[in-house]
Amino acid sequence: YDSPALVTRVFRGTAWQHTMTVRASGVVLPGVTNLTWRWALLQGDEKLVNIRPLGTGGQMAEISVAYHVPQFPGAANSEIKSSRVDIGVFAHNGTYPSAPAMISFYFLANEQREYDSDNRIVSVEYGGAGSGYVDPMLSYRRQWRDVYKYDAKGRVCGWQRSRGSIEDSFTAHGMLVETWDELGRARTARAVRYLPRSAGEPGSLPDLVQVGDNKTFTYTYLGDDDFIGHPVADNR
């Protein structure tokens, strides 16, 4: 969501850190000149947020925010938990500062992520015992855990998904592995779709479910050390 006074982002994906460049503007203050700008972290862990002002007067800033475990102590009251990092930008006319415009990052409490010492994703558990409520307009509930696999070069080459007693393997392209080659790599795989479905009980929240697609692929590889491969559609 973007507005003149607020930019909000949901921290999605599995990357450890997201970076964006933001430019402040005083166009809503006609006749006001010589503004200077100050960027400040209002809520969040200062060790996980970097704000680098750019240009004359600091009108632009590069903002890098690393993953925060949701439900951390709020800035105003540590007993109230929050899942949002807030950054404010203040305009100053030489006499008075303005109220802040806000840049906010929201972290999903219905997923539990684990990263290694190199900030690579290890696993994501969705809908686990420690999960919190998230508005379904932002993220559907899911009932599985993904554990990521890496090749010798440190690249994600797939993940293992646990859904109750069901174990599925996925390629780096997000396809469900159906058969394997002699090196333990995907030989054939199937595309999957994710659809929201309700349990049917009145007032129940929908879950995101995994559904197999009719599109299948055969994997080709550049050599024995290639564990990512290239999917070729079977039904072209």
| 11-30 per-position pLDDT tens digit | 999 999 999 999 988 776 66
Kindly indicate the confidence band of residue 60, based on its pLDDT and cuts at 50, 70 and 90: very high
Whole-number pLDDT of residue 236: 61
Q: Determine the longest span between alpha carbons in the chain, in angstroms.
A: 72
For residues 127-148, average pLDDT: 87
pLDDT value of position 65? 98
The pTM for the full model equals 0.88
SS3 for 57?
A: helix
**Going by C-beta distance under 8 Å and a sequence separation of 6 or more, which residues neighbour residue 31?**
none
- List the domain boundaries for the chain: 6-106, 111-233
What distance in Å separates the CA atoms of residue 82 and residue 44, rounded to the nearest whole number? 9
pLDDT, mean over the chain: 92
Torsion angle (degrees, nearest 10) of CA 63, 125, 109, 83 = -30
The residue to which tokens 């100050």 are assigned: 38
What span, in angstroms and rounded, lies between the C-alpha atoms of 133 and 129? Answer: 12
pLDDT in tens, 181-198: 999 999 999 999 999 988
Fold of 6-106: Immunoglobulin-like (2.60.40)
With vertex at residue 59, the alpha carbon angle to CA 85 and CA 89, rounded to the nearest 5 degrees, is 30
User: 163, 155 in Cβ contact below 8 A?
Assistant: no
